[in-house]
Structure 1
């Protein structure tokens, strides 16, 4: 799939034809920064772009996008389908925000912002459908939508002089692994998270 740039309909008047032609040649394609395959339909995947768009694509159609989700206004750094609720996915961006989406709706269901820093990575918990983790340079955040949709329920600051870069929920455990700019991987244990009706609750969130 070639990621064709989506041009803004609002263009300034003026300028010569040479400048316009040069711009169209240089910006025909846009960089893709992240992608994730659908957890139950391996023919579908999402791509996040440098422009801030999210494209839903099909392996059987390499010519056009199925849908385009528009909310972020800076590069989309990570996309993650929810493994326990396959119609739901998260995105994070350098615009400081995390967005919660339902795949049949082109507008986000919820948006989250806790700091004025780019969000580089997000991951859903494989155990609880309402729990996800997020990483910016300064801290690890754990969100539990059963508890709050306004603030993370746990925050772990980065060590002085170190920037957090990536995270991963360890399967079959209550641990999160965080990679940093020093090449180190730190393991954190999660405690006191609700389980129970979490899958039902995430569905209630995206339907309401």
Structure 2
């Protein structure tokens, strides 16, 4: 991405036509730009997750064919960063071959996550409730996948998240309305579970990088925060109902442990700050008293929002993907 600028307020003063012309040229130069290098893929892609393994960037893709494939992104990344490499890439572009493909899932799925603590370790879950852990082999171009899946969910596994601090622990959520915490050193059927964590399908979860919190979003439109120190109680420490349709994506800020964002099928992206407390001033403003004090911002204008992610290098910058395209924005409150 290039030429990203903040919005500017109009000074309100009259200016000459020459000055207007100069400003038009400057505005044209300020238009945001995005370079992209496509990687052709046979079949629909349900979800993509990317990691860095040594000097190689890898993308794991859940395919609607029921396969989980891993691709090497080095050529595409070089093309994005180098105009000469981009020209060569476009001229030579052809269907990419997967570095590795796993066909052991009996059906398609959506849940997938790379470990943030063990390079190359992956976990994938399918719509028939099975979860497989991938262990990287020496050389980083192949994986050993467990033959006995983690299968204690009774319905489709919708999302997976590795612990940011414990290398062998991951969390899962499911259509069976439960959130489960697993340790790959324990037997596959041994786990911690919050049953009936939501009143309907749980679509997405996010594990806070700095605090022992997990954020969840479901078809009920609810956002719930779970303190892992109190997980056995089965009760969340925070519960928010702002979205009017199922939650499609959630993610904690990588910079501020109290801030998170969520997206819903109501075509809204919301930003929240758990550290904010209610005050009497807001209660006197018409309409504000009905809003949660932790709600910072609502972003609209997209259709069928699928995922949101915080930019890892630019604090406060949020990216959202939707049927109508990409949005990249940063609010004044984050």
TM-score, scaled relative to structure 1: 0.73
- Secondary structure of 1:111's counterpart equals strand
Please list the CA deviations of residues 110-163 of structure 1 after superposition, one character each: whole Å capped at 9, or x if unmatched: 1013333111011111111x211111022000001224532001000143x432
Match of 2:255 in 1: 172
The total of aligned residue pairs comes to: 167
Match of 1:85 in 2: 166
Match of 2:123 in 1: 46
CA 1:156 to 1:37, structure 2 compared with 1: closer, same or farther past 3 Å? Answer: same
Q: Which runs of 5+ in 1 are unaligned?
A: 6-28, 193-208
Q: Which has the larger radius of gyration?
A: 2
- Secondary structure of 1:143's counterpart equals strand
Distance 2:182 2:202 in 1: 17
Match of 1:118 in 2: 201
Q: Which has the higher contact order (CA 8 A, sep 6+)?
A: 1
Distance 2:155 2:126 in 1: 9
Deviation at 1:64, TM superposition (A): 4.7
Deviation at 1:67, TM superposition (A): 4.8
Deviation at 1:62, TM superposition (A): 5.3
- Secondary structure of 1:70's counterpart equals coil
Deviation at 1:30, TM superposition (A): 1.7
CA contact (8 A) 2:182 2:190 kept: yes
Match of 2:181 in 1: 100
Distance 2:143 2:103 in 1: 10
CA 1:64 to 1:142, structure 2 compared with 1: closer, same or farther past 3 Å? Answer: closer
Q: Which runs of 5+ in 2 are unaligned?
A: 1-100, 277-334
Q: Aligned to 2:146, which of 58, 62, 65?
A: 65
Moved over 6 A (4+): none
